[in-house]
Every structure is written in C-alpha cells, then in structure tokens.
C-alpha cells in the first residue's frame, strides 16, 4: 500500500508522520507551503477542500482529521500494534483521548494565531491570545492527572495516541506553558524524542 501524506512543518500532521514511521509504511511526503498560502490553492483544495493538513491519500480516497488518519494507520498495519484493535472498549478510550486532543486542545492552541476563525475585531484576537496559556495549562493538567495512564498515553503499550499527544505537547513552550509543570507528560515527551520513528519524522518534516 503506497500512501501520500500532505503535511506542513510545525503542525498536527507530525502525529500522522510519526505513526507512518512507527508502522513501517510505504508512503510519500507532500509538503504544503503555508507561508505562500498553498493550502488555499485550487490544486491543494482538490485534495482537501478544508484547506488544512494532514491529508492522507490512500487507494480508496483521501482521509482528513488526525484521529481518523491515526485510526486508519493502526488498523492498516496491525502487526505494528499501534492500537488495541481486539478490544473495542480500549480502542474507544484511545479514540476518546485523540478526540480531546483534536477538538479541545488543538482549538485552545489555535486561538493564539488564528483568532480570525472566531472573531473580526483585533481586540478580540488579543483577548483570545491572552487566554491561550491558561487554557493550554488547564488542558494539560487534566491530561496529566486524569487521562495519561503511563508510562505511555494509554498504559503499558505504545499507540498512535502517543504520537498525537507528543505532537501537541511540543506546542506548549510556544504557548507560554512550561512542560515541567506536568512531570509525567514531560518524562513521556523526553522518551518520545529518543524513539527512532520520532527522530526520522522530525528529519523528514524539516527536509
């Protein structure tokens, strides 16, 4: 199976890139230049009408949204054991964490640079930006104390949820949050950085 991942540096697409590396997938990388507005070009919109990344081109069509892409990778490469595929409840728990990262944490982060999605007045943008640090800290306090099982996100076994949680944790410093406030997540992030799949993903993202 040959796949094409459309991605951009410093975005949530890193999670899908790490998962593809974890899976040992045969894939190609297609970079989308946000600086030039390529995500709004007719060519890219023909791939993903949402104008965002990631987008994963498969033999059956295009998948968007990180939780869906991560689930697809885990299910397409079962030998990589990137999700508890034989346990519906455990898989739903994994999806619950990924959905929270997507619908709540990512949105809290996005208020720092993308206030125009929610308001028109510059004063509103500034107000949203001021809230980002507190909102992200609140999200990670919940993850640290209630959602992170340890030593990996879902417990003893590594999964695609780890790729996603790590990707979002990378944003904390830019959002004004010291990851050291969350020692379990901080230790997890350091272990993730030592994984070969993560190192390869960073190298390919930056190339």
pLDDT of residue 119: 57
Q: Same topology for domains 2-81+199-206 and 88-195, yes or no? A: no
Summarize pLDDT for 113-136 with one digit per residue, the tens: 765 666 556 666 666 678 899 999
Distance of CA 136 to the CA centre of its chain: 15
**Positive or negative torsion for Cα 132, 187, 79, 26:** positive
Alpha helices in 24-144 (DSSP H): 42-45, 66-76, 88-100, 106-110, 122-142
> Architecture of domain 88-195 in CATH?
Up-down Bundle (1.20)
Q: Contact 21/201 with Cβ under 8 angstroms?
A: yes
Neighbouring C-beta atoms of residue 155, cutoff 10 Å = 15
Average pLDDT over residues 155-176: 98
Summarize pLDDT for 179-202 with one digit per residue, the tens: 999 999 999 999 999 999 999 999
Q: pTM for the whole thing? A: 0.94
Find out if CATH 3.20.20.80 is the number for domain 2-81+199-206.
no
Domain residue extents for the chain: 2-81+199-206, 88-195
């Amino acid at each position: 199976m040959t796949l094409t991942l459309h991605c951009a540096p410093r975005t949530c697409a890193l999670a899908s890139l790490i998962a593809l590396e974890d899976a040992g997938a045969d894939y190609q990388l297609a970079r989308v230049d946000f600086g030039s507005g390529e995500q709004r070009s007719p060519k890219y919109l023909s791939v993903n009408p949402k104008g965002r990344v990631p987008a994963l081109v498969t033999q059956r069509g295009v998948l968007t949204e990180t939780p869906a892409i991560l689930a697809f990778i885990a299910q397409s490469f079962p030998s990589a054991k990137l999700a508890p595929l034989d346990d519906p409840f455990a898989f739903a728990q994994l999806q619950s964490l990924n959905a929270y990262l997507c619908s709540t944490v990512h949105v809290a982060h996005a208020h720092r640079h993308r206030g125009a999605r929610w308001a028109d007045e510059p004063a509103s943008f500034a107000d949203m930006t001021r809230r980002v640090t507190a909102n992200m800290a609140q999200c990670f306090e919940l993850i640290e104390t209630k959602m992170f099982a340890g030593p990996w996100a879902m417990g003893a076994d590594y999964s695609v949820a780890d790729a996603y949680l790590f990707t979002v944790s990378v944003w904390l410093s830019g959002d004004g949050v010291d990851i050291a406030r969350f020692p379990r997540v901080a230790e997890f992030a350091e272990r993730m950085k030592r994984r070969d799949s993560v190192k390869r993903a960073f190298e390919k993202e930056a190339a």
